[in-house]
Structures are given as structure tokens and as C-alpha cells.
Amino acid sequence: MSKIGKKIIAIPQGIEIKLDGEKLEVKGPKGTLNLEISRQIKVEISDGEMKFSRIRNTKEANAIWGLTRALVNNMIVGAKDGFEKKLELQGVGFRMSLQGKKLVMALGFSHPVEEEIPEGLTVKIEDNNVLSISGFDKQKVGQFAANIRALKKVEPYKGKGFRYQGEKVRRKVGKKAGAVK
């Protein structure tokens, strides 16, 4: 029994939900999101609430049940409020700048690194070293943040590179000069 799948989702004001067969559309002030619901999951919309249940009790249906409910909940939150991820860039000589729909970064390589900003995302640079990525699709926001972080992950010796805001980095002690006997 899925603990997440059996939770009821309350539909907030300003959110419009359409269910057409297996296609679910969530429309809100931030944008419109679509999802194809599995045939093994039954969705009921009534009185400003959404309920999810399994049609058959199979292993695959159990796995998809909670996932579907979580995806729909993320769509509703995204269409209403949106999502945001913040990345910090630390390191001497590391810089970021926005040039139109491109993010240009100097990350210690012999060339500047350019990343195209996907449609539906807003990117801002705050305090010269904090990158704010926001949008209404949680998957797009998280994937773009992960792609940027993968360009220069935090290394454990000096702590240089991209990190999520509030992320704790475990630092390692460098080499020590040993006494020669």
C-alpha cells in the first residue's frame, strides 16, 4: 500500500485541471503542464479534490501509483507557485554572466563554457556567484541545475566549483610534509 498514492490532493484556487482519457492538463497562473496517466491508475476529480487508485493490484501498478500522485502534485504546485533552485559558484577566477539566452561561465578551463537556457526557465545571477534557476516545471528546473553543477562539481580539497545553496561539502585534508629519517 503506497503511503503517498493514497493521499488526497486538494486543488487550490486558480488551478484548472482537465482529464481527457489518459491525458491530464494542469493550467495555472505560472503555466500549463501535461502528463499522460498510466492505464493502471484511476484518477477521480470531485469537489476540489483528486484521488488516485489502482485498477489492478500488480507490482507495476503499486510502483506507478505513488509516482503518479507525486508528479501531479508537483504539476499543481508548479502551475501555482513555481520552483526555484540556487547554485553557488566558489573559486578564484570563476565567473558567470548572462548573454541573451546563454549562460557563459569561466570555470578554469582554457575556454569559456556556454550553456543554452531551456524554454520556460528564468535564470538570474545574484551577488556575482549565486545562480538562481526558476520555472514552473520541477523536472526542467532540477535537470538544468544538475547539468550546470556537473560542469564543475565541488572538489573536496579547496571547495571550488558549483554547489547547491545550503549544501554541506565534506572537506579533505591535503598532503602533509612527512619527516624524512
Question: What pLDDT sits at residue 63?
Answer: 87
Q: In degrees rounded to 5, what are phi and psi of residue 177?
A: -75, 120
H helix intervals, the chain: 59-80, 138-151
Q: What cell numbers appear for 51 in the block?
A: 484521488
The position carrying cell 503555466 is 31
Q: What cell numbers appear for 178 in the block?
A: 612527512
Kindly indicate whether the domain formed by 83-164 is annotated with CATH number 3.90.930.12.
yes
Q: What is the pTM of this model?
A: 0.88
Helices 138-151, 59-80: crossing angle, 10 deg rounding: 90
List of the chain residues with pLDDT < 70: 1, 178-181
Calpha distance 15→28 (Å, rounded): 5
Question: What pLDDT sits at residue 1?
Answer: 65
Q: What cell numbers appear for 141 in the block?
A: 528546473
9-80 and 83-164 share one fold: yes
Question: What pLDDT sits at residue 179?
Answer: 63
Calpha distance 96→101 (Å, rounded): 13
Q: In degrees rounded to 5, what are phi and psi of residue 77?
A: -65, -40
What totals of helices (H) and strands (E) does the chain contain, helices first?
2, 13
Domain coordinates in residue numbering, the chain: 9-80, 83-164
Closest CA to 62 of 70, 53, 73, 72: 53
Q: In degrees rounded to 5, what are phi and psi of residue 45?
A: -115, 120
Q: How crowded is residue 137: how many other Cβ atoms within 10 Å of its Cβ?
A: 22
Question: What pLDDT sits at residue 82?
Answer: 94
Query: Domain 9-80 is classified in which CATH homologous superfamily?
Result: Ribosomal protein L6 (3.90.930.12)
The SS3 of residue 67 is helix
